[in-house]
Amino acid sequence: MLRLLARRLMSNVPESTVYGGPKPQSPGRRVTLTHLRQKHRRGEPITVVTAYDYPSAAHVDSSGVDVLLVGDSASMVVHGHDTTLPISLDDMLAHCRAVARGASRPLLIGDLPFGSYESSTSEAVNSAVRMLKEGGMDAIKLEGGAPSRISAAKAIVEAGIAVMGHVGLTPQAISVLGGFRPQGKTVASAVKVVETALALQEAGCFSIVLECVPAPVAAAATAALQIPTIGIGAGPFCSGQVLVYHDLLGMFQHPHHAKVTPKFCKQYAHVGDVISKALSQYKEEVENRSFPSAVYTPYKISEADVDGFSNELQKMGLNEAASAAAAAGKNEETAGKPSDGNC
């Protein structure tokens, strides 16, 4: 008893925690479901960004965004497909692993792609398990509210994996929906959005994405639910918002990419213009031989070693190579000398 008391007194872990966690949230720690629930109770908006690789994940990580979603929209944004359908679970796992290496703070959610959870609840659970074990995710997201999707969500939650639902426009169901069409624009459709969201909540989902539905429908669903809603093209009344990294940064400027950037997306920058300008400048400087200059040629060899190298090349019968090495050495020496100030 005395040992237990001494250990407790010496420990910096609060008595109320189990196995050392969960601990109070701080800026440097991973966001948890507890943190999201606390924000939701306080009425604080939840921030979510969809990203697909290590560099973008590192940017999102440093921004302080709450949640990073590895979306199956990578099929369109990264792989260039017209829909989200072609991307496989293995493809998604590769994206998830890259994101997990780049982001240590936000809650990480991986999208279950089309074809990875529809056949049975056991398939759904197995795919979700892979997302956590192989992909490094904290939770998964699945689309739709058909009975089979509700069953899948429930089975995954019962397996101990957190699930985010997704209703409204569900891109994986475009063959049924007839394309990327907004939902909830009629009374029946609006009621279905709310009913589906409630069913997913009942199945154990911790949050629901509402995509491309009118603001009154999103407001009604948010009010009806006890879990947070994350809007995308659903107006300002959701518990939080999500946008795709590439979209909000304005990375796609070419007209061919108009089909990818949705009209509800605000572009907070025009990074695509900056990228295009930089690439054009690089091409021009390589062609006019102004790059690389001496500043970007950091690795040096002494004049004596250049002479020795040239001599060895001559012995090998490589006279042209010897001359090239000698000329480059003299050019490097001239470039490295400080200017005398004369024009």
Cα–Cα dist 299/290, whole Å:
18
CB 154 within 8 A of CB 127: no
- Please tell me which residue in 44, 143, 202, 211 is annotated as part of the active site: 211
**284 noted as active-site residue:** no
C-alpha dist (Å) from residue 13 to 3, 33, 311 = 16, 20, 70
Q: Strands 207-211, 46-50: parallel, antiparallel or unpaired by DSSP?
A: unpaired
Cα angle, residue 44 at apex, residues 201 and 143 outer, rounded to 5°: 30
Q: Count other C-beta atoms under 10 Å from residue 262's C-beta.
A: 15
CB 125 within 8 A of CB 159: yes
DSSP-derived secondary structure letter, 29: S
Query: If you write DSSP's letter for every residue of 122-191 in order, what string do you get?
Result: HHHHHHHHHHHHTT--SEEE----SHHHHHHHHHHHHTT-EEEEEEES-GGGHHHHTSS-----SHHHHH
Residues taking part in catalysis: 211
